Amino acid sequence: MSPMARLMLRRVFVCALPLQLSGQLCAAQCSNVTWTLSDSLATCPAGDTLLFQHSPLHPHPSRLRILVTYLNSSCNPRVGVPPESIWVASTGTSGNLKINDKGASIFADDSTNGSGQARVTIPSFSGCGTVTLRLFVSGIDKGTKSVVVRTTDTNADGVVTASDQTGACDLNYNGTAADGTIFSAHTDHWRRNALHDTLVRRTNYCET
């Protein structure tokens, strides 16, 4: 091979190398599916917000909201993926915690938006403990995450009564279980007050 041919071959190799590295870098930085969720919930079985003093740096939401971001292999959003392709399943709980009025698969609220994002909402719990959830996207297992949940329904019978103040868990996460005023505000609230499985369109997404 002539010196000129060797020089040209070297230039082609050097020019192609950054493109190859660029592709590897993109693959390393781009995760196909990511998901985040709220933790340390404080709620009643009706899904209402519990009002108490706490630091805004450590919120205690009343409903479990899971944000799923779905991208393609080029790191671009997967838009319009239907809700039945994104769901979570409970793999177990600790304490006497239970999810109210949900089936084995809890689907996304709507199709993925223009950012490739969809939310899965669980509005009602009873009891106190930890729930572990497993995410599935297009049938592929994306792992598990655990969430601490404390509710006014201490005995997990689905309704808040005076008996739930006995053995109550620490609803406001301040280290004590003296949360009588919180219970009083949610007396007679029960899981049937939460909105579950109402007949609505499966998705609001449309393609023109």
User: In the CATH scheme, what is the code of domain 31-193?
Assistant: 2.60.40.10
Contact assessment for residue 50 and residue 165, using Cβ atoms and an 8 Å cutoff = no
pTM: 0.78
- Rounded to whole angstroms, the Cα distance separating 110 from 80 reads 9
pLDDT of residue 203: 66
Question: Tokens 């409903």 label which residue?
Answer: 63
198 has pLDDT over 70: no
Residue range 132-156: mean pLDDT, rounded: 96
Number of residues in the chain:
208
- Rounded to whole angstroms, the Cα distance separating 117 from 80 reads 9
Percent of the chain with pLDDT over 70: 76
- The model's pLDDT over 107-136, given as tens digits with 9 standing for 90+, comes to 999 999 999 999 999 999 999 999 999 999
H or E segment and range at residue 25: helix 3-29
Domain coordinates of the chain in residue numbers?
1-30, 31-193
4 has pLDDT over 50: yes
pLDDT of residue 59: 84
